[in-house]
Amino acid sequence: FIVIALLQILSGNITFDTIQFADQKQEFNKRPSKIGRRSLSRSISQSSTDSYSSAASYTDSSDDETSPRDKQQKNSKGNGDFCIKNIKQADFGRREIEIAEQEMPALMALRKRAQGEKPLAGAKVVGCTHITAQTAVLMETLSALGAQCRWAACNIYSTQNEVAAALAEGGFSVFAWKGESEDDFWWCIDRCVNVEGWQPNMILDDGGDLTHWIYKKYPNMFKKIKGIVEESVTGVHRLYQLSKAGKLCVPAMNVNDSVTKQKFDNLYCCRESILDGLKRTTDVMFGGKQVVVCGYGEVGKGCCAALKAMGSIVYVTEIDPICALQACMDGFRLVKLNEVMRQVDIVITCTGNKNVVVRENLDRMKNGCIVCNMGHSNTEIDVASLRTPELTWERVRSQVDHVIWPDGKRIVLLAEGRLLNLSCSTVPTFVLSITATTQALALIELYNAPEGRYKQDVYLLPKKMDEYVASLHLPTFDAHLTELTDEQAKYLGLNKNGPFKPNYYRYENL
């Protein structure tokens, strides 16, 4: 039914309102040494910003300093095909997942409708995303749609251990825990992919690391893979590089540049989570603080709007003259980084680039300057340049380090330059519902597409599907769409059922 419905929507034969989901309105309303691992575990266990709040579960998890790779764990059914921090946290994780479900209306609607339909039957999805309660709702929805899933984390700090435990208890093969080393990170990805008797035919990636690993280690797997769904700027950039070089051997769906991802996740999500991440880690007051935001894309726009509303003095750096002009028209002063480096209190990167903030910039910063990254990758801040003998690192709390210069000056580095919001706080569930629904529909589309529809290239989600995702979330607000009359539709040259905007249309920000 889901596949047929999507095809009918794309063809314009039915409207969004034609499809009703049960209870939609009611419910919606290098591996470290043992000493290194102990040190990391201790620093995490002493944090007051862990991803769950129960003192009981907190103590149970933090007292065990053994690496998950050195443990033999099984769930209540005797299954041990997973590697997580502590399976005993499953009950806490299940409660978090249940909370997330209430704020993810479209995914829950798809899941309910799929009780008798399995549009992903036979799909073997290997995923590499942030493992949070919201991701768990997506994974369980994919399972309800008929897919088998194996999952790893795309960030070494963003995994919610109790959610990973709940997924493992539910039978999912999950390989992730908060505070992985770089070696652990790649080991977990390999455990997802390299398993006897199971081979993926779909990839859901966030950042491109999973896709990169399969290309590097198991290129023959692409003979059976039907497609890739990628949601981040970094990952999409890597896919376009592969396509340009003629090395992309399967179709890929660029979810990041879908309207619902760009305008809701990137903008509205970051507008709220930037403040949350900074408050939880530093307890900083924003009023009167001077902040420089590197990059004025959707993420940068969200960060700037939030900080301006809190009374901060915000500067922007940009390479794109169009984005730069937008920043100026929005009331922000456009500068080069070195012009304000000595005076700003907070530096935030969100460009998707590398070496945006380098050692020269870090040396010029004032004492106490807070440095963080809101881009996906950890390449924007040159953290490696700070690991030198003359500088002292001092752990303050989980994901918060003082880097101290010989003269006593110190900067406050958050999450070691990795993604701030998912490493140090949380993100709004409702916004992630929009992104997750887009990912699910992209998987359904690629998996069920007839041979020849998609070639070995990178594609955008059809505008009709973008509108469909948006429509599924409107009942939450008790919102009512106006319908075009036949005369109006003819005058505008539109199908009454959409799409309502051409592909080149750029939705403006508020």
Q: Which residues are annotated as a binding site for substrate?
A: 132, 206, 231, 261, 265
Q: How many CB atoms lie within 10 A of CB 66?
A: 13
Residue set of the binding site for NAD(+): 297-302, 318, 421
One-character DSSP codes across 420-477: HHHHHS---HHHHHHHHHHHHHHHHHHHHPPTTSS-SSEEEPPHHHHHHHHHHHGGGG
- Identify which of 338, 346, 369, 367 has the alpha carbon closest to the alpha carbon of residue 287: 346
- Identify which of 460, 64, 494, 36 has the alpha carbon closest to the alpha carbon of residue 257: 460
- Beta bridge partners, 151, equal 127, 174
Kindly give, in sequence order, each residue whose CB lies less than 8 Å from that of residue 266, ignoring residues fewer than 6 positions away.
Answer: 256, 297, 298, 299, 302
DSSP 269: I
Give the whole-angstrom CA distance, residue 166 versus residue 174.
Answer: 10
Amino acid (one-letter) located at 173 = S
**In terms of DSSP bridges, do strands 410-414 and 400-404 run parallel, antiparallel, or are they unpaired?**
antiparallel
Give the whole-angstrom CA distance, residue 425 versus residue 300.
Answer: 18
Query: How far is C-alpha 90 from the chain's CA centre?
Result: 22
Q: What is the H or E stretch that residue 128 is in?
A: strand 124-129
Do the Cβ atoms of 426 and 50 come closer than 8 Å?
no
Residue set of the binding site: 132, 206, 231, 261, 265, 297-302, 318, 421
Kindly give, in sequence order, each residue whose CB lies less than 8 Å from that of residue 334, ignoring residues fewer than 6 positions away.
Answer: 315, 316, 317, 318, 324, 327, 328
- Identify which of 267, 231, 155 has the alpha carbon closest to the alpha carbon of residue 436: 231
* Alpha carbon distances (Å) from 266 to 152, 272, 292, 484: 22, 11, 18, 30
- Beta bridge partners, 411, equal 403
Give the whole-angstrom CA distance, residue 260 versus residue 136.
Answer: 20
**What are the backbone angles phi and psi of residue 395, rounded to the nearest 5°?**
-75, 125
Do the Cβ atoms of 499 and 463 come closer than 8 Å?
yes
Do the Cβ atoms of 214 and 238 come closer than 8 Å?
no
